[in-house]
Amino acid sequence: MKKFKVGILGATGTVGQNYIRLLQGHPWFEIIDVAASPRSAGKSYEDAVKAKWQMPISIPNDIKELIVRDVQDFQKIPPDLTFVFSAINMPTKEQIKDLEIEYAKRDLPVISNNSAHRWTSDVPMIIGEINHEHANIIPAQQKRNGFTKGFIVVKPNCSLQSYLTPIHALESASYKVDKLIITTLQAVSGAGYPGVPSLDIVDNIVPYIPGEEEKTEKEPLKILGKVGKHGIEDDTSIQISATCTRVPVSDGHTASVNIKFKEKIPTKAEIIKIWSSFRSVPQELDLPFAPEIPIIYLENIDRPQPKKDRNNEKGMAITVGRLREDTVFDYKFVALSHNTVRGAAGGAILNAELLVNKGFIK
């Protein structure tokens, strides 16, 4: 098939680099535009990144010589660009909001990793296996903003991706959840580059990450909500309390979850069967970045572990283990996701594939 020509806003940062790594050989998408701050503009991508390149592969040859465009130089946007992935970092969220709106006004769909538009009511915040139908709010967003072909779709924070799909699977099987206590153990890569100072994280755990607990508690409400007349209506039926910590792990966010159900309580065997058999639209459509098995349950008493399990299904699966009865709530379990793949660039690429399939990106 003829490939979609895509751009990356914030291409020199860690998430932008991950896009470049993950999109190599993608059957649908081809990178033709890399954009960043004015200090990188006008340089070849290789010169702009230099020692900041953090990926486990070399800079791809087809990317090295691309000239970095100033992200705010709209006149130099390639005329054949189809859509952009946004991972741009700017001094304020308002600046990011305005920038993404400007791209959408120019007929370019924006698939964003940023938090700036997560609480804009008609901007869907999508995890492909959970709320793909939220894309149906896009026409209302376009009408409100006067967009023609452009729009904005965001992905959620990486802190909640490890546990929310297993919770959604249980709710979809009619086991409604009442309360959740979440403790996350988040990898240092989640802080970007250069990230957490070594003297703060080596031989240590940092029990506070600015803004993470609020995102972990509130973003699921929108993701589990429904499309209403004026935007996405939150689902407030689940109470969530979160504690988010930073641990000395390179990649992979782990969550320890305590769960209380509303009425019906499944057996342990039923929960494992629900998780192991769970499939959703990305799997039905066989999208390139969709994990074949979205939730992997491991019987080993000491799993999941980031080093051993973060790359399951090319980093796109949620790996769960240690399901057991809880002495206060009903059950507890441990879940793991790859924060820079499923939780960042990979999750956004899957969202773009869904939007292509639904006809929003043409």
Give the burial string for 243-253 (b: 16+ CB within 10 Å, else e): bbbbbbbebbb
Q: Are residues 120 and 224 in the same domain?
A: no
Q: Considering the chain, what is the average pLDDT of its residues?
A: 97
Contact 107, 146 (CB under 8 A): no
Q: Which domain holds residue 86?
A: 4-157+345-357
Which residue out of 132, 134, 253, 338 is catalytically annotated? 253
- Helix H or strand E encompassing 269: helix 268-277
Q: What is the CATH number of the domain that holds 137?
A: 3.40.50.720
User: What are the tens digits of pLDDT across the range 177-213?
Assistant: 999 999 999 999 999 888 899 999 999 999 999 999 9
- What the block records as the tokens of 74 is 């709209």
Structural domain includes residue 362: no
Structural domain includes residue 245: yes
Q: Are residues 150 and 162 in the same domain?
A: no
User: What are the tens digits of pLDDT across the range 266-288?
Assistant: 999 999 999 999 999 999 999 99
Q: Are residues 262 and 130 in the same domain?
A: no
Q: Are residues 163 and 113 in the same domain?
A: no
- Separation CA 191–CA 57 (nearest Å): 21
- Helix H or strand E encompassing 141: helix 138-145
Q: Are residues 124 and 252 in the same domain?
A: no
Which residue out of 117, 158, 244, 338 is catalytically annotated? 158
Neighbouring residues of 355: CB distance < 8 A, sequence distance ≥ 6: 109, 111, 135, 153, 361
pTM for the structure as a whole: 0.96
Structural domain includes residue 130: yes
Q: Are residues 98 and 147 in the same domain?
A: yes
* Res 194: pLDDT: 86
For the question of residue 244 being annotated catalytic, the response is no
Q: Are residues 202 and 319 in the same domain?
A: yes
User: What are the tens digits of pLDDT across the range 30-49?
Assistant: 999 999 999 999 999 999 99
Q: Are residues 267 and 205 in the same domain?
A: yes
Q: Are residues 215 and 89 in the same domain?
A: no
Structural domain includes residue 234: yes
Q: With the CA atoms of 226, 232, 238 and 239 taken in that order, what torsion angle do they form, in degrees rounded to the nearest 10? A: 180
DSSP conformational letter for 253:
E
Average of per-residue pLDDT across 255-265: 97
Q: Are residues 209 and 83 in the same domain?
A: no
Q: With the CA atoms of 314, 165, 28 and 292 taken in that order, what torsion angle do they form, in degrees rounded to the nearest 10? A: 50
Neighbouring residues of 7: CB distance < 8 A, sequence distance ≥ 6: 31, 32, 33, 34, 35, 77, 78, 81, 83, 84, 85, 108
- Separation CA 296–CA 251 (nearest Å): 18
Q: What is the CATH number of the domain that holds 249?
A: 3.30.360.10
Contact 184, 240 (CB under 8 A): no
Q: Are residues 109 and 237 in the same domain?
A: no
Structural domain includes residue 197: yes
- The structural domain count of the chain equals 2
Is pLDDT at 300 greater than 90 in this prediction? yes
- What the block records as the tokens of 303 is 């799993």
For the question of residue 132 being annotated catalytic, the response is no
Q: Are residues 204 and 148 in the same domain?
A: no
